[in-house]
Amino acid sequence: MRRRDFLVLAGGLVVIQPLSSLAQAPSNRPSVGYFAGGKRAVVSDLVGAFQQGIRELGLIEGDNINVVYRFAEAHPERLPSLANELVGLNPTVILAVL
């Protein structure tokens, strides 16, 4: 996936979040599940682009949005359990980078 495509996708996912939920109490703030099949060190540019994109939208991790990261660390056998764990956290949206 090209970096530009990723930024458009990540930005679009955050933008589709209803604005009314951003004004809710901090305990109800939206959450993004970031799910990647690769090693964090390898996809760090994508993670950085995602983080920059949400900052440009005025979202601050831990303040008005929660982001939960899960990385399979290039072990495809871990993907199902990590996906189940992430779904169990019930995030507002899940971004999968495989």
Q: Give residue-wise pLDDT tens across range 15-47.
A: 444 444 444 444 589 999 999 999 999 999 999
DSSP class of 63: T
Strand partners, 74: none
Distance CA 13, CA 10 (A): 5
The DSSP result for 15-49, as a single string, is HTS-HHHHTS-GGG--EEEEEESS-TTTSHHHHHH
Cut 0.75: pTM above it: no
Tokens of 30: 């939206």
Strand partners, 68: 33
> Average pLDDT of 36-60?
94
**In the structure, what pLDDT confidence band is assigned to residue 6 with cuts at 50, 70 and 90?**
low
- Strand duo 66-71 + 31-36: pairing: parallel
